[in-house]
Structure 1
Amino acid sequence: MQNKLLSLLFLISPLVSNSQEYVDLLNVSYSKTGDTSFENSAENTIISIFDSKVLLPIVLNEKTALITGFDFNIKKFQLFPNSSDTNLYYTRIKLGIATEHSEKWSGTYVLLPILSSDYKKLSTEDIYLGALAVWTYKKRKNFNYKFGLYVGNEAYGLYVTPLIGAYYISPNSKFEINSIFPGFIDVNLGISNKTKLGIDYKGNSETFKIHNDDSQTTYTENNSLEFSSYIQNTSLTKNLLLRLKIGFATNTYDVYAVNDKINLAITPFRIGDNRTKLNPSINSSAFLKVEAIYRFYTSSK
């Protein structure tokens, strides 16, 4: 959830921030790892991920916008050595509001109903609900701070994440930093009018319910760190950003029995975690990603 949550915040923050001069309305990407080994096993798997994010803001007045949209994600890989591939699906609806409270402060408040599982034998138990609140303080026209909190339920129980971040763009718009801790940093530099080089980091935490035909229902929890560098080009049109990324990611995808839970998760801590893992850990791996972004500019600059 954490990576998807922070991506959402990155997309909607320009709606109430004068620092960032654009809003990304559509983001589509596909990534694939090389051979990824299991711990203490000679077997390998390949992790492929298709991800899409759609943001449909509705401007109500000069200070307030309604936030709507959805995310859809598919992961395909083996959870166990010598097993067939598992398909994991993630669908999230975004419904909220972004508003300016004063000249310096603005707020974003979003409800996030989520369906996250292998989409077999779907039921209400595959649905999770989260809520996000973030406040932005505009220090200068090109620099702001963010403070916030996410609360939601996951397959293992209640999940809470405090958020703190900052955004900066240079006066000539060539150099940009966007960070939302604990899980997102993006730094990029324009080397020409149509090309940028960048590096980013994402901390990813998510769960998926798994319905097994011949055994107990389980869930998988993935906590990963993803580092990548990228080149971005806008030769077709300035609104269409094409990125090629090369990176390295840790992978866990630990599997647990559906009733094996924890008391409370407050990033980065797990309180009362006495769960029994049912599969070997998946080791770290390199990946290649292609990404397309449709960007709407809120400033004529």
Structure 2
Amino acid sequence: MKKKLIPLLFLILPFLCSAQEYIDLFSINYGKSQKTTFENSSFETDITTFQTNLILPIVLNEKYIALTNVNFSSYNLQLFPDSDNNHLYSTNLRVGLSVNHSEHWSGLYLFLPKVASDYINISTEDIYLGGLALLKYKRNENFGYGFGIYSSSEAYGMSVVPIVTFYYRSPNKRFEINAFMPNDADINYNLTDKTRVGVDFLGHGNSYKVTTDNVRANYVENNSIDFSSYVQRSVLDKKILLRLKMGYSLNDFRVYPIDQKLDLQILVLRLGDNRTQLIQNTSNTFLLKMEAIYRFDLGTLKNKS
């Protein structure tokens, strides 16, 4: 039974958009930036972030894997000087299939509905629909790449993002690069059996309708990038990874009237953008973040078979 199960478990690998031999089934992180002043103002604000992610892969057969992923994230910050803090939330559901097309090629096809707003007087207008299609090539256990496209409706209109993925691990397994561009990238090195150091960046792009005086009049467009260095320590037989991250965050929160949209956004290219920007909160600050990950190591299973 075990010998039959192990090959099926390795079929989950294409879900990771690379050739790596592990799955981060669950993660949680909390971050806080230092206080910063608004532009042309003496008022200060900081940004608190929280995110948790759960992945549930189900092997259907040797070709198909059903995938379910739930992600929740939140921001807590002042959008306007001398105002109460605004809470921005996003709950994402990702469901679909990973398909083994051949020995080297696989595909990832996901339906991506989400609910994003301040969660005050929440309604169906806070639901946005998206999708992702990704083709991946796995040359060997140490190298892989992929390309695809992501699209989603947002409070400001339709967004389309081309995607490129890349994975490399050195033959001695000490050095690793894992990228899902333009969303995130990670470069790390194994100092000891249980300690890694690395640098990464994480891009955030989302929109949230917000309520003021019990009226939905505006929405927030967030485009931010976090650059971090980290130290990682593995515990409990390397199943739990604990990370302490320090870095710099480029935060951009823009507020627009709820009835003003653009025609199409492709990465940073905005087509038909005639919106009236009410305010822009640009807070470039140092950040501190703590992260915990539950990692399922498929390489360990392979070695035991």
Structure 2 length-normalised TM: 0.91
Give ranges in structure 1 of 5+ residues lacking alignment.
1-11
Aligned residue identity for 2:268: P
Aligned-pair CA distance for 1:59: 1.0
Q: Aligned-residue CA RMSD in angstroms?
A: 1.6
Partner in structure 2 of residue 129 of structure 1: 129
SS at match of 1:121: coil
Separation of aligned partners in 2, 1:15 and 1:94: 12
User: Is the contact made by 1:216 and 1:257 (CA closer than 8 Å) also made in structure 2?
Assistant: no
Partner in structure 1 of residue 158 of structure 2: 158
Aligned residue identity for 1:265: Q
Cα distance change, pair 280–138 in 1 and its aligned pair in 2 (3 A): closer
Separation of aligned partners in 2, 1:79 and 1:215: 16
SS at match of 1:57: strand
Give ranges in structure 2 of 5+ residues lacking alignment.
1-11
Partner in structure 2 of residue 23 of structure 1: 23
1:144-186 residue CA offsets vs partner (Å, 9 max, x unmatched)? 1110100110110010001112101112211110112223210
Indicate yes or no: 2:140 matched with 1:140.
yes
Aligned-pair CA distance for 1:122: 1.1
Aligned residue identity for 2:79: L
1:28-71 residue CA offsets vs partner (Å, 9 max, x unmatched)? 00000110221111111111011000001111123321101211
Partner in structure 2 of residue 209 of structure 1: 209
SS at match of 1:250: strand
Partner in structure 2 of residue 291 of structure 1: 291
SS at match of 1:281: strand
SS at match of 1:56: strand
Partner in structure 1 of residue 222 of structure 2: 222
Partner in structure 2 of residue 263 of structure 1: 263
Hey, which of these two has a bigger chunk of strand by percent?
A: 2
Indicate yes or no: 2:267 matched with 1:278.
no
Q: Answer with 214-223 or 161-170: which moved more.
A: 214-223
SS at match of 1:282: strand
SS at match of 1:252: strand
Separation of aligned partners in 1, 2:108 and 2:36: 38
Partner in structure 2 of residue 9 of structure 1: none
Consecutive aligned runs of 4 or more in structure 1 exceeding 4 Å deviation: none
Sequence identity, in percent?
45
Separation of aligned partners in 2, 1:175 and 1:149: 28
SS at match of 1:15: helix
Structure 1 length-normalised TM: 0.92
Aligned-pair CA distance for 1:18: 7.3
Q: Answer with 138-147 or 23-32: which moved more.
A: 138-147
- 1:66-105 to 2 correspondences below 5 Å: 66-105=66-105
User: Is the contact made by 1:16 and 1:99 (CA closer than 8 Å) also made in structure 2?
Assistant: no
SS at match of 2:15: helix
User: Is the contact made by 1:37 and 1:282 (CA closer than 8 Å) also made in structure 2?
Assistant: no
Separation of aligned partners in 2, 1:17 and 1:291: 22
Aligned-pair CA distance for 1:118: 0.5
Partner in structure 2 of residue 193 of structure 1: 193
Aligned-pair CA distance for 1:138: 1.5
User: Is the contact made by 1:14 and 1:21 (CA closer than 8 Å) also made in structure 2?
Assistant: no
Separation of aligned partners in 2, 1:45 and 1:123: 29
1:1-31 residue CA offsets vs partner (Å, 9 max, x unmatched)? xxxxxxxxxxx86437672100000010000
Aligned-pair CA distance for 1:216: 5.1
Aligned-pair CA distance for 1:110: 0.6
Aligned residue identity for 1:159: S
Separation of aligned partners in 2, 1:280 and 1:265: 19
Greater radius of gyration (CA)? 2
Aligned residue identity for 2:122: L
User: Is the contact made by 1:126 and 1:209 (CA closer than 8 Å) also made in structure 2?
Assistant: yes
Aligned residue identity for 2:28: V
Q: How many residues align?
A: 290
1:93-117 residue CA offsets vs partner (Å, 9 max, x unmatched)? 1211111101111000011110000
User: Is the contact made by 1:53 and 1:70 (CA closer than 8 Å) also made in structure 2?
Assistant: yes
